């Protein structure tokens, strides 16, 4: 079933977290185009039962965190990840997965799923807005078959360091980088949690392919 109520037969259910973030309808449409039964929802039961959860995010780190906490979206995300259920963060939805964000000298606590901070890019012109290539991490599922494509970015802040240590039997995360003034994290795939700094839903055919790669790896899509 799409956000309009039309059922998508045979497609895995993907919940798009409705916590008040703007401009989420394009993400729902892109997920449907990529093969999902995508639903914009805040229903905790439906979200927990979904094959995948997408966490969109636009604007400021603090505003997104405030909205997540106000709607208990932080608890929803934590519960899914604790159960090993797939989550995909987009743009600020990726940024809030880190320990904290620093905007204009003000520090805000994030969800803390990954270590490190989100800080302003060191670039001559901000925001970083437009198309850019990425260096896909080894073993990436998201970028399978689209390693050389371009993706659409619009942001002034990003995580610029990766320091998470993983020991066996856990799989090493696939960490994807991009360059704009300085290297920054364009995407991370770490167990059930994946995220992109760019907007797949605004990245044309390559973005649809990336979402399709994520959807095809969902447990209920196999």
Residue 8 lies in a domain: no
Domain residue limits at 95: 13-221
Residue 128 lies in a domain: yes
Residue 4 lies in a domain: no
Nearest alpha-carbon partner for 126 in 154, 102, 103, 104: 154
Residue 152 lies in a domain: yes
- pLDDT per residue as tens, the chain (222 positions): 444 444 555 899 999 999 988 778 999 999 999 999 999 999 999 999 999 999 999 999 999 999 999 999 999 999 999 999 999 999 999 999 999 999 999 999 999 999 999 999 999 999 999 999 999 999 999 999 999 999 999 999 999 999 987 777 778 899 999 999 999 999 999 999 999 999 999 999 999 999 999 999 999 765
pTM of the model: 0.94
Q: How many domains does the chain have?
A: 1
What CATH number does residue 84 fall under? 3.40.50.880
Q: Tell me: the pLDDT tens digits for 36-86?
A: 999 999 999 999 999 999 999 999 999 999 999 999 999 999 999 999 999
Residue 6 lies in a domain: no
Helix (H, G, I), strand (E, B) or coil at 35: coil
Residue 52 lies in a domain: yes
How far is the C-alpha of 180 from the C-alpha of 6, rounded, in Å?
41
Residues 6+ apart with CB under 8 A from 182: 121, 122, 123, 160
Residue 1 lies in a domain: no
Could you list the active site residues?
A: 91, 199, 201
How far is the C-alpha of 84 from the C-alpha of 117, rounded, in Å?
24
Torsion of CA 7, 9, 15, 19, to 10 degrees: -10
> What number of other Cβ atoms are within 10 A of residue 76's Cβ?
22
207 CB burial (10 A radius; 0-12, 13-18, 19+): buried
Residue 7 lies in a domain: no
């Amino acid at each position: 079933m799409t956000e309009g109520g039309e059922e998508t037969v045979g497609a895995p259910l993907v919940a798009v977290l409705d916590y008040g973030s703007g401009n989420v309808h394009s993400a729902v449409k892109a997920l449907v185009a990529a093969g999902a039964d995508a639903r914009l929802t805040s229903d905790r039961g439906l979200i927990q039962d979904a094959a995948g959860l997408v966490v969109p995010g636009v604007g400021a780190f603090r505003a997104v965190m405030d909205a997540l906490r106000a709607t208990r979206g932080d608890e929803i995300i934590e519960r899914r990840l604790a159960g090993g259920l797939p989550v995909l963060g987009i743009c600020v939805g990726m940024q809030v997965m880190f320990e904290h964000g620093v905007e204009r000298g003000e520090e805000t606590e994030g969800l803390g799923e990954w270590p490190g901070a989100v800080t302003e890019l060191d670039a001559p012109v901000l925001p970083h807005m437009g198309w850019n290539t990425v260096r896909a991490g080894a073993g990436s599922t998201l970028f399978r078959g689209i390693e050389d494509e371009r993706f659409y970015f619009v942001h002034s802040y990003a995580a610029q360091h990766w320091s998470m240590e993983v020991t066996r039997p856990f799989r090493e995360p696939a960490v994807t980088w991009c360059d704009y003034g300085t290297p920054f994290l364009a995407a991370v795939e770490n167990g059930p949690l994946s995220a992109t700094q760019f907007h797949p839903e605004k990245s044309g055919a390559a973005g649809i392919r990336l979402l399709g790669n994520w959807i095809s790896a969902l447990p209920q899509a196999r």
